[in-house]
């Protein structure tokens, strides 16, 4: 169910961009149990000026390799799960996608489970879908 | 009040993109009573790799014609209204924009009514705007 | 902590785009006390048809100079603070970035403070980070 938006500055190879997407997804799978197949991501590259970041906020040095990761997800994860997710994303991007841990900015937007449709115009995750049988 | 973000892969004509925007908007009007003039949408095309989707999650077959629709909207719709909205979007895109129902992914982000300004720096939907008279 | 997404139609100079980003950020600083260094923004330009807006909704005349500003921010601002923010954004864009006040559309998405990581895979704003000492 996550819908992931990733924003970076231009200059990375296709392989690097793919590795970023893969690292974020694997982190969701490893840390909070998202199904492997539940993968929906948008990654956008921006020219100079299109992505603005402070290079020192909270004394974290950031470079032009900064990666913004905004994940819309159903509510209900504990703080510990969120911590594990942040750590996993930073670790995966660092090890697999040549992104510095300092360059990984993450934000979660939480929504109700009934706020998703994965196709065919149905609310597959809504409460009564699972109680009411097929429709 | 909805702010709609639509993401697709490159390769569609301008007319197809316009039909997708129109179909989503008409669905909001038909199913949950959004005013016809209350239309604010961003549609972005992505190159290969820019939009990542699983072609089989929940056993729904998806193609490169997949359309991500993320709608930010004021909270308060019932589950039945959300179901009607999902069905209307899938139906409209299928009939008017040559999008397969299986290819329509929808997510709603709900916010407070006071979280909108439609121009002039005012909170037109905030509670006391309507009680306090003109300002 | 705000993550700001700004969407405009193509045709503005780099300087105008920078002034829009600057004006939005200064408004956050002035009106609701966001730290000056807490600046993370994405600004995207769209071709004809990529940004759809009604030119008259709520009797506010909008032009092709319309600017969509979507701010993800931690919850907790009062209505008065939100009003001040909307007014400051419209004022700053009008005075510093040649944007008409009528053309400024703003939406806020509110999230929990624990929903942010500003780098290094840590939840810098989560409650127990500040209680538990350095980690």
DSSP A1-53: --EEEEEEES---HHHHHHHHHHHHHHHHHHH---TT--EEEEEEE-TTTEEE
* Contact assignment for C49 to B121 by CB distance below 8 Å: no
What pLDDT, in 10s, does the model give residues A90-105?
A: 999 999 989 999 999 9
Q: What is the pLDDT of residue C58?
A: 98
Please tell me the predicted confidence (pLDDT) of residue A134. 42
**In this structure, how many other beta carbons lie within 10 angstroms of the beta carbon of residue B78?**
10
CB A1 within 8 A of CB A39: no
What local confidence, expressed as pLDDT, does residue C127 receive? 86
Query: Cα distance from B75 to chain A (closest Cα, Å)?
Result: 11
Taking CA atoms, what residue in C is nearest to A6?
C42
Instruction: Mutation target for B interface from C53, C57, C66, C78: give the one with most B CBs within 10 A.
Output: C57
What count of other Cβ atoms lies within 10 Å of the Cβ of residue C75? Answer: 12
Position A131 pLDDT exceeds 90: no
Give yes or no for residue A135 having a pLDDT over 50.
Answer: no
Chain B nearest-CA distance from A81, in A, is: 21
Rounded CA-CA distance C97/C103 in Å is 12
- The count of other CB atoms within 10 Å of the CB of residue B49 is 14
User: Is B134 annotated in the active site?
Assistant: no
Quick one: pLDDT at residue B127? 86
Tell me which chains share at least 3 CB pairs under 8 Å with chain B: A, C
Tens digit of pLDDT for each residue in B48-87?
999 999 999 999 999 999 999 999 999 999 999 999 999 9
Q: How many CB pairs below 8 Å do chains A and C form together?
A: 108
Residue of C nearest to B21 (CA): C52
**Which is it for strands C67-74 and C104-111: parallel, antiparallel or unpaired?**
parallel
Query: With an 8 Å Cβ cutoff, are C57 and B39 in contact?
Result: yes
Confidence of residue A133 (pLDDT cuts 50, 70, 90): very low
At B133 the pLDDT is: 41
Chain B residues at the A interface, defined by Cβ less than 8 Å, are: 7, 44, 46, 49-54, 56-58, 60, 62, 68, 70, 79, 82-83, 86-91, 101-110
CA nearest A70: which of C33, B109, B86, B105?
B109
Place of tokens 């350095």: C134
Enumerate the residues of chain A whose CB falls inside 8 A of the CB of residue B103: 119
d(CA C93, CA C19): 8
- Mean pLDDT to the nearest integer, B102-113: 98
- Using CA coordinates, name the residue in chain B closest to C69: B117
Task: For chain C, 135 residues long, give each residue's pLDDT as a single digit of tens.
Answer: 899 999 999 999 999 999 999 999 999 999 999 999 999 999 999 999 999 999 999 999 999 999 999 999 999 999 999 999 999 999 999 999 899 999 999 999 999 999 999 999 999 999 874 444 443
Judge whether C123 and C117 are in contact, CB under 8 Å: yes
Of the candidates C53, C89, C101, which has its C-beta nearest B40's C-beta? C53
Name chain A contacts of B87, Cβ cutoff 8 Å.
121-122
CA distance A36 to chain C (A): 21
What are the residue ranges spanned by the domains of chain A? 3-115
CB contact (8 A) between residue B54 and residue A72: no
Checking if the pLDDT of B132 tops 90, the result is no
Strand residue runs (E) in C77-134? 104-111, 116-117
Q: Shortest CB distance from C79 goes to which of B37, B38, B114?
A: B114
State phi, psi for B53 to the nearest 5 degrees: -145, 150
Average pLDDT over residues B2-31: 98
Cβ pairs bridging B and C (under 8 Å): 108
- In angstroms, what separates the C-alpha of A19 from chain B's closest C-alpha? 11
Structural fold of domain B3-115 = Macrophage Migration Inhibitory Factor (3.30.429)
Least CB–CB distance from B42: residue in C68, C101, C108:
C68
The CA distance from C91 to C69, in Å, is 14
How is residue C106 written in tokens? 């703003």
Nearest CA in chain A to C128: A79
Write the CB contacts of C81 (distance below 8 Å, at least 6 apart in sequence): C31, C32
Interface test with C, best of A59, A65, A79 (most C CBs within 10 A): A79
Beta strands in chain B (DSSP E): 3-9, 40-46, 51-53, 67-74, 104-111, 116-117
- Comparing alpha-carbon positions, the chain C residue that sits nearest to A46 is C44
Q: Pick A53's closest partner by Cβ from C39, C116, C123.
A: C39
The pTM assigned to this predicted structure is 0.95
Determine the pLDDT at residue A1: 83
pLDDT at res. B135: 40
Q: Write the residue in B57, B104, B107 that is nearest to A3 by C-beta.
A: B107
């Amino acid at each position: 169910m996550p819908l992931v938006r990733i924003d970076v500055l231009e200059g990375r190879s296709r392989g690097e961009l793919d590795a970023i997407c893969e690292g974020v997804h694997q982190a969701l799978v490893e840390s909070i149990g998202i199904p492997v197949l539940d993968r929906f991501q948008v990654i956008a590259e921006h020219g100079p000026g299109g992505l603005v970041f402070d290079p020192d906020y909270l004394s974290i040095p950031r470079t032009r390799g900064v990666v913004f990761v905004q994940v819309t997800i159903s509510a209900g994860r504990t703080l510990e799960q969120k911590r594990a997710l942040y750590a996993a994303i930073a670790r995966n991007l660092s090890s697999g996608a040549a992104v510095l841990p300092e360059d990984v900015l993450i934000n979660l937007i939480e929504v109700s489970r009934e706020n998703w449709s994965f196709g065919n115009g149905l609310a597959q995750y809504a409460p009564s879908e699972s109680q009411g049988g097929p429709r």
